[in-house]
């Protein structure tokens, strides 16, 4: 038989050959290679039997799906090691996460001192190089019998909607799992236990507290070393620490997961919004504002009431149920319905910087990165089908402009239709929508990755992952084609022939959550914001008390240009004043003494601690105003930030 593998010319295999044999024929034997596989777009195990004409894609560790399978398999290795060391522990769940994986255990108590012991046992298991094997149970009863000694697994089995139910073995270890897994464990070359914490079963604070072990693994030791160095650098850039030190934001027990933005933080916030609104205006958007609380009937129409209610804050007023919006989309649908639209108006680009609330478990909250109250820079674009390609190009141009302003390179991913039975819309609609997105990406000329079957049930999407200063990727932007909401809300436009037709709709976000984007910028710049964004643009430090009047005179002149400027006329030494300014990441420190007062000048020191000496005030202002207006990333006085 012949198959297609990794988009290369057909290769010939004997009838009944498995995926593993195809990988061996292609010599994909390196630890980072062939860690997972898709056959005809579906993830499969390596003992899956191939048939003539199959399309096989082998995924490496650098592929998101490949890395997920690698880490899921590694989670089973972690559980196997824990059970060898603590036989009475009860494993519950162990999923891959953004960085590595975790496994939750009942009846287990451990500390950081146990990490080395776990790692040594993992090393022993890996040296045994077990092959992973999948088995299936025909029904829930058979599966529950196999896991009868573990009530957590039995509870999971009861919650499953599909049969058969699968499990995986590796040596003596046997675990309930959907899979797939790597073929064997010998691709795992580096393994590190990172931390432990408590976690409620199923995230429910009324249920049992479990012990969660976080770990990470790689196909080579260098990657682990690089990752640990990255984590050290990330720790220095922690936005929660920097945010507190620079007095940007805080969190209070009275409002968990709902940030308080302080005056200095609001300077950054407002500049972000000013930049966003300026960009939207130039790109032809209109902006709306919809109510924060709307009735149950709206959320029933949109489907959120049935599928998202557990994450919504609800209330009852005058015998009617309401919900605080977890997203902006339904409100925009009502706005569209408020008028009759002609084909001449399309595309209609409607933006909303909406304040939304979503219930997140307390254990999942993480500074500005995971909150319960946040703002989304949403937009909904209504168009004819023939306008899809141009509109996506328009969005990509806007995204490029915004991300490049912050020095954030990015990568693109296209996610296509999931299983047909799990989606809405016709084959023709999906083909047109996917071709529109793909065509736009091809036109754009930026390399992109295709995630087959990873789109939403209501349409394909493009995800934009930005890369920060230390190489971490963050998924912020998204372009989502939606064939569901226009149908549910019966949206229409009048076409050129007078007929009523349904518009195509795109969801679009670029910052995503503005709070989260704020946090990303804090870490990206390590608190050293470019001048236009900085909450500490200029500080004037006096040499002695007699220079205070002149310092305030200069500060007034600087502030008249819309620049943030404060005066340090404290009794501290000049050395201490300089250190304080550096700790607060002040862009420009201006010192004034007898000489500066006499000459009506300033002495300039930049944030990178380069002393420029005596400078004319007007010349300084001309340069920094230009720096601000151009939203420059680099100072005209310095080559380092």
Digit-coded pLDDT (tens) for 101-135:
999 999 999 999 999 999 999 999 999 989 899 99
Bridge pairing between strands 42-44 and 36-39: antiparallel
Residues 418 and 284 in one domain: yes
Q: Kindly state the tokens that stand for 132.
A: 């992973």
**Quick check: is 380 catalytic?**
yes
Could you tell me the residue range of the domain that residue 16 belongs to?
2-60
The CATH number that applies at residue 547 is: 3.40.50.800
- Output the pLDDT for position 639: 55
406 part of a folded domain: yes
Residues 457 and 586 in one domain: no
The whole-angstrom separation of Cα 455 and Cα 122 is 36
Q: At which residue do the structure tokens 């984590």 appear? A: 231
640 part of a folded domain: no
**Quick check: is 400 catalytic?**
no
Instruction: Determine which one of 67, 370, 472, 507 is catalytic.
Output: 507
Instruction: Determine which one of 380, 394, 585, 628 is catalytic.
Output: 380
- Output the pLDDT for position 121: 97
The CATH number that applies at residue 372 is: 3.30.930.10
Residues 413 and 450 in one domain: yes
**Quick check: is 177 catalytic?**
no
Instruction: Determine which one of 187, 358, 394, 607 is catalytic.
Output: 358
The CATH number that applies at residue 166 is: 3.30.980.10
**Quick check: is 307 catalytic?**
no
**Of the residues 19, 44, 60, which one is the last residue of a structural domain?**
60
The whole-angstrom separation of Cα 309 and Cα 359 is 10
Instruction: Determine which one of 45, 104, 377, 378 is catalytic.
Output: 378
Residues 488 and 502 in one domain: yes
What H or E segment, with its residue span, contains residue 78?
Answer: helix 64-85
pLDDT tens, 442-460? 888 888 888 777 777 777 8
Q: What backbone torsions phi and psi does residue 43 show, to the nearest 5 degrees?
A: -65, 135
Q: Structural domain tally of the chain? A: 5
641 part of a folded domain: no
533 part of a folded domain: no
Residues 498 and 612 in one domain: no
Residues 77 and 97 in one domain: yes
269 part of a folded domain: yes
CA angle 443, 449, 450 (to 5 degrees): 95
End-to-end CA separation in angstroms for the chain: 60
Residues 338 and 477 in one domain: yes
Instruction: Determine which one of 65, 80, 170, 376 is catalytic.
Output: 376
**Quick check: is 378 catalytic?**
yes
**Quick check: is 175 catalytic?**
no
Phi-psi region of 90 (alpha: psi -120 to 50; beta: other; left: phi over 0): beta
Q: Kindly state the tokens that stand for 629.
A: 């207006």
Residues 374 and 411 in one domain: yes
The residues of the chain scoring below 50 in pLDDT are 640-641
The whole-angstrom separation of Cα 429 and Cα 484 is 12
**Of the residues 13, 37, 60, which one is the last residue of a structural domain?**
60
Residues 280 and 428 in one domain: yes
Query: For helices 115-128 and 64-85, what crossing angle results, to 10°?
Result: 110
CA angle 136, 139, 145 (to 5 degrees): 85
The whole-angstrom separation of Cα 451 and Cα 416 is 6
Q: Kindly state the tokens that stand for 337.
A: 């319905």
- Output the pLDDT for position 641: 45
**Quick check: is 376 catalytic?**
yes
**Of the residues 491, 525, 559, which one is the last residue of a structural domain?**
525
- Output the pLDDT for position 140: 92
């Amino acid at each position: 038989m012949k198959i297609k593998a990794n988009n290369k010319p057909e290769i010939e295999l004997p009838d009944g050959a498995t995926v593993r044999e195809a990988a061996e024929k292609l010599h994909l034997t390196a630890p980072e290679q062939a860690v997972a596989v898709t056959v005809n777009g579906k993830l499969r195990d390596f003992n899956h039997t191939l048939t003539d004409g199959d399309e096989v894609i082998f995924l490496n560790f650098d592929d998101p799906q490949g890395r997920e399978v690698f880490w899921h398999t590694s989670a089973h290795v972690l559980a196997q090691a824990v059970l060898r060391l603590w036989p009475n522990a009860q494993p519950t769940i162990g999923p891959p996460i953004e960085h590595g994986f975790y496994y939750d255990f009942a009846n287990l108590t451990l500390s950081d001192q146990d990490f080395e012991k776990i790692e040594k046992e993992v090393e022993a298991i890996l040296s045994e190089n077990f092959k992973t094997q999948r088995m299936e149970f025909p029904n829930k009863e058979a599966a529950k019998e196999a896991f009868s000694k573990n009530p957590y697994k039995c509870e999971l089995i009861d919650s499953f909607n599909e049969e058969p139910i699968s499990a995986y073995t590796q040596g003596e270890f046997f675990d309930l799992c959907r899979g797939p897994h790597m073929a064997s464990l010998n691709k795992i070359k580096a393994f590190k236990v990172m931390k432990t914490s408590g976690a409620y079963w199923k995230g429910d604070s009324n249920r049992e507290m479990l012990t969660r072990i976080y770990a990470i693994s790689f196909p080579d030791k260098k990657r682990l070393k690089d990752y640990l160095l990255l984590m050290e650098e990330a720790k220095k850039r922690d936005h929660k620490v920097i945010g507190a030190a620079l007095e940007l934001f805080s969190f209070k027990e009275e409002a968990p997961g709902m940030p308080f933005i302080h005056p200095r933080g609001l300077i950054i916030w407002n500049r972000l919004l000013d930049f966003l609104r300026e960009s939207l205006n130039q790109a032809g958007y209109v902006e709306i504002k919809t109510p924060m609380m709307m009735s149950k009937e709206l959320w029933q129409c949109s489907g959120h009431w049935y599928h998202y209610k557990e994450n919504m804050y609800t209330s009852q007023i005058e015998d009617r149920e309401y919900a605080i919006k977890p997203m902006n989309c339904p409100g925009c649908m009502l706005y569209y319905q408020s008028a009759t639209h002609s084909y001449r108006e399309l595309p209609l680009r409607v933006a909303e910087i909406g304040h939304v609330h979503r219930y997140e478990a307390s254990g999942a909250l993480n500074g500005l990165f995971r909150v319960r109250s946040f703002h989304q820079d949403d937009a909904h674009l209504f168009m004819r089908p023939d306008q899809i390609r141009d509109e996506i190009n328009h969005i990509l141009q806007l995204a490029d402009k915004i991300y490049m302003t912050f020095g954030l390179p990015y990568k693109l991913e296209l996610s296509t239709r999931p299983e047909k039975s799990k989606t809405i819309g016709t084959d023709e609609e999906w083909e047109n929508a996917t071709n529109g997105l793909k065509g736009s990406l091809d036109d754009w000329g930026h390399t992109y990755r295709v995630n087959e079957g990873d789109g939403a049930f209501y349409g394909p999407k493009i995800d934009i992952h930005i890369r920060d200063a230390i190489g971490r990727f963050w998924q912020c932007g998204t372009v989502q084609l939606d064939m569901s909401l226009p149908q549910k809300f019966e949206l229409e436009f009048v076409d050129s022939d007078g007929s009523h037709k349904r518009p195509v709709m795109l969801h679009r976000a670029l910052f995503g959550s503005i709070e989260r984007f704020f946090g990303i910028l804090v870490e990206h710049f390590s608190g050293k914001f470019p001048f236009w964004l900085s909450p500490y643009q200029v500080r004037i430090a006096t040499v002695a008390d007699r220079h205070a009047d002149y310092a305030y005179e200069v500060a007034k002149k600087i502030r008249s240009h819309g620049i943030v400027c404060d005066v340090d006329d404290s009794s501290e030494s000049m050395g201490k004043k300089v250190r304080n300014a550096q700790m607060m990441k002040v862009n420009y420190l201006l010192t004034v003494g007898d000489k500066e007062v006499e000459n009506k000048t300033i002495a300039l020191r930049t944030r990178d601690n380069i002393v420029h000496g005596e400078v004319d005030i007007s010349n300084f202002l001309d340069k920094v105003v230009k720096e601000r207006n151009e939203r420059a990333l680099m100072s005209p006085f310095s080559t380092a930030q």
